[in-house]
Structure 1
């Protein structure tokens, strides 16, 4: 039907245009284009809004909506007074079902959907990089694989919000006693039992992935074993924050040190996911329940790219563990560890070398920040450089809306390489080198051994070039170059000779 406007488009065409909006911000802008657009939107607000929500979240929209709509608590009950462990498991499991008639999506829900979608997308990028294709920093999951992953992630989010790790102190857990803990285990089992077995296996696979992230961030194997289950209870959002910061302090802060004193060995969190899942496998008589020693990716992925690839410089089989420019941030070594021979033991060289690497990182971070500022021109008010909150756009919104608006200062600074040596690696690859290294380029894959060898042989060359370009006039080369032992304990010798050079005596 033709709209009563000057636009030569039927109302159903305008309606169709609305459904292609990629974000709610775009939708709002389109509504304000003209009265004709506004009228069409007012005629079909529910279907148009849901279509845009689908564009943002994807087919996991029912799970995403349930995660934000579930009535987790009673605002009229004081914290600590509500006896969550006494609530009926079946009621908890069936409240706010995923499948329901389309309903109005409120302004608060729109903002939270967008924020959660960004978080899930970031986790999918990490999953894709570590589990499917080591060469791409952004997800290459197929639509079906992505749906499995996201559906499971939103369900994990719901579960962690229902049974959060920061709900109880150690004293609270003691007061629960064995009977209370058993009741909570029944609640957890009932919530997960609502899902079919194949989708539970997908959820299990994503839990394994999140646990792997935690183990990588924690580092210490024994500590990771004790704390990973406890940290899982803080939910995907907090786990992603810890991963991006490469630090689990944020998780400790959320939990409180009173719980951490037990090293995660509290009965309420032992088997946080595994206990209810095992209960379900047994009840359903699953013939082949998943095993810890087996890869869980088979429940999410139909194909792994490069699973049998070898190092570009040696026959070592590495697959997803091979190092590429997309996963440089996973290299745990500090740049100073790549300094050749005795250079790393000489403070007058290793210290300024570290400063040069830090300068490179800061320059990269500054460039990224400026680029991201240009990417979010509509949020200029939120770039609060002195962090005093005066220019934060959220201060101009009602609290119920502001709490869901992301901190755009954090967003523009949110570059995974800002604390990693990735800019340094790129600079070393770009540094002129002897012809024997011509085939070693940053677009190739390397095993850890070859990667280490390349940087040990060339990191000092990058630093030498940096110093010369900065105005340094090298003194006479030391005969023993980077192998010189005297420079380690004689500052005068270290300063009077250039040791950023290949030895001419005493062997390479």
Structure 2
């Protein structure tokens, strides 16, 4: 049987199975027969491909809602974004298809990170179940739209507070449009974006070990999922002038959540809004034996440590007076590339630096009196810090010798202190 002998239904099915719109455009240009079939079923074919780009057809309405709000420069969609159920009735434009492809890549990358941090620490690629994946993507798109519509103004111009009250009222109305489970999906997505923003903040700042208090990280999620992911990839942390103390998202969510009749605590409901069960939730630290589940660190997730043990904290883990020795700490942080955003290094390079350092720390030949550490071990964050306290200075000393640096006098205060 030749290609031309295939029925129209079969060929239409093949077009619906194409991976993206660029492939679709190339295919229908290659054959008059396929072009005619596409023209006969344009909406169903585009809708199926769009659903694949979003991860699932159940996610598509939420994704289209974001795409169609993206060109809204006012950042407020009056009075409410069009309902999700209406999205599929509107023909999709080429520009919208391109944005779906672009945004789908963003959400897919966020899902990989979410899974790595909350589902399976052994895999940087998503291990969410199909249902968990739908929940995550749908929650991210809905939170993304919230950011597009209800972010605070970047600068307070002192105008009438009624504008802010109107935005808050619209934000609450938006969240009230969702059923309870869907609303908690949005909140779980918002919580993850806050977590990722905090990761960026710690990984980026090589000078301060102080952690902002209150709702600082949650407030800055108004930047939106795409912006926060871009910062993660650059090892950077953007600041939004109007975000601080804005109560972004969570004040509105709290007002909506109080109306739900929960059979469990709000925190428990939020913790299980996306993931049903983690992989190996009862795993314990190989050194102290504390049960930490997903919160263990080893060879497959060393790169994530950069946002937990900040460059500023790294200096404090050196012994004696070395943390105050700017000559040594500056050289150490330059090796660690604490300012990756300035040097323009890629995320993959940052991950490589972090993973190599931890691997070399564990492999370091040291006195037998210290703790034993293994490459296949899993350690809690407290024990990782203990590893750094025990071996970071020895590792740095070995690195300097490898580089042929001259050995300085073992001064009690620090290098070249002139006392």
Query: Which residue of structure 1 aligns with residue 138 of structure 2?
Result: 151
State the partner residue of 1:68: 67
Aligned 8 A contact 1:417 1:423 in 2? no
Tell me the secondary structure at the aligned position of residue 142 of structure 2: helix
Name the residue aligned to 1:132.
Answer: 119
Correspondence 1:447-466 to 2 at 5 A: 447-460=380-393, 462-463=395-396, 466=399
Alpha-carbon separation, structure 1, partners of 2:331 and 2:217: 37
CA distance in 1, matches of 2:31, 2:61: 32
Is 1:305 the counterpart of 2:279? The answer is yes
Listed as ranges, the matches of 1:189-228 within 5 Å are: 189-217=172-200, 223-228=212-217
Task: Report the CA distance shift for 1:489/1:434 in structure 2 as closer, same or farther (over 3 A).
Answer: closer
**Equivalent position of 1:505 in the other structure:** none
Give the aligned partner of residue 323 of structure 1: 297
Does the CA-based 8 Å contact 1:429-1:441 persist in structure 2? yes
Spell out the pairing of 1:350-429 with structure 2 (5 A cutoff). 350-358=329-337, 413-415=346-348, 417=350, 421-429=354-362
Give the secondary structure class of the aligned counterpart of 1:207: helix
Find the partner of 2:239 among 225, 245, 251: 251
Q: Is the 8 A contact 2:150 2:168 kept in 1?
A: no
* Deviation readout 1:450-485 (Å, 9 max, x if unpaired): 323334444455445545554x3877x98xxxxx44
User: In terms of Rg, which structure is larger?
Assistant: 1
Residues 326-351 of structure 1 show CA distances to partners (whole Å, capped at 9, x for unaligned) of: 13333324355555656666666555
CA RMSD after TM alignment: 4.2
Q: Report 1:469-508 matches (<5 A).
A: 469-470=402-403, 472=404, 484-486=410-412, 488=414, 490=416
Give, in angstroms, the shift of residue 69 of structure 1.
1.8
Q: Which among 216, 224, 231 is matched to residue 220 of structure 2?
A: 231
Residue among 163, 172, 176 paired with 2:161: 176
Moved more, 52-61 or 314-323: 314-323
State the number of aligned residues: 405
Q: For residues 321-380 of structure 1, what are the alpha-carbon distances to aligned partners after superposition, in whole Å with 9 as ceiling and x for unaligned?
A: 222341333332435555565666666655544444449x89x987xxxxxxxxxxxxxx
**Local SS of the residue matching 2:239:** helix
Contact 1:365 1:415 in 2 (8 A): no
How big is the shift at 1:298? 1.1
Q: Which residue of 1 aligns with 2:206?
A: none
Does 2:32 correspond to 1:25? no
Counterpart for residue 481 of structure 1:
none
User: Structure 2: which 5+ runs fail to align?
Assistant: 203-208
Cα displacement string for residues 67-94 of structure 1 (whole angstroms, at most 9, x for unaligned residues): 2124975x8xxx69xxx69x55xxx26x
Task: Confirm or deny: 8 A CA contact 2:234 2:344 kept in the other structure.
Answer: no
Secondary structure of 1:239's partner? helix
Q: Where does the alignment leave 5 or more consecutive residues of structure 1 unmatched? A: 367-412, 479-483, 494-508
Q: TM-score, normalised by structure 1?
A: 0.66
Which residue number in structure 2 is paired with residue 387 of structure 1?
A: none
